[in-house]
Amino acid sequence: MDKNKGPNLTPKEFFDYVSTPITEDLREISFKVHNIIPEKTELYHEILISLFDILFHTYLGKEIINTEKKSREHFEWCWKKNISNFNKEKIFFNEEKEILDYFTQFALESFYDEDLDKIEELQTKIKWFWSKCFDYGSTRTRSELDILVEVYKLFEKSLI
């Protein structure tokens, strides 16, 4: 079995993974194990919402940003602008590559590659998704917990 792959799940197991809420006890244990604290979830949420606000407000449409290269360039510009804004607030990033790669890929797949007719709906869904992900006390599924842990760790490595 490939080390990079998780276990094979049956359809039912996968459905449970993405749809069944975990218990509050499991959430709290996972937060303790991964040292996830409310203040940092709020900060990371604010960084992401600010990033996507910049992205949404400066996106010029598929007529201008019409290749993957241009999409990447736009996203990286938004990322740098956001980092600069947070640096002014004395929040500094040390290593950005891994987290930048993660969110560049997320934006390419969930925003840039989508139909322009859906842009407002996409903006709402993206903000809702990350708000739910970083809501410290929210009920969540195992898959949502895994995403939070993964992104939280990326932020932990990235901030000074």
Domain boundaries, the chain: 37-158
pLDDT at 160: 77
pLDDT at 63: 84
Whole-angstrom Cα distance, residue 160 to residue 145? 24
Q: What is the pLDDT of residues 85-122, one digit of tens each?
A: 999 999 998 878 999 999 999 999 999 987 777 788 99
Q: Own/partner pairs for 57-65, CB < 8 Å, 24+ apart?
A: 59/111, 59/119, 61/116, 62/116, 65/112
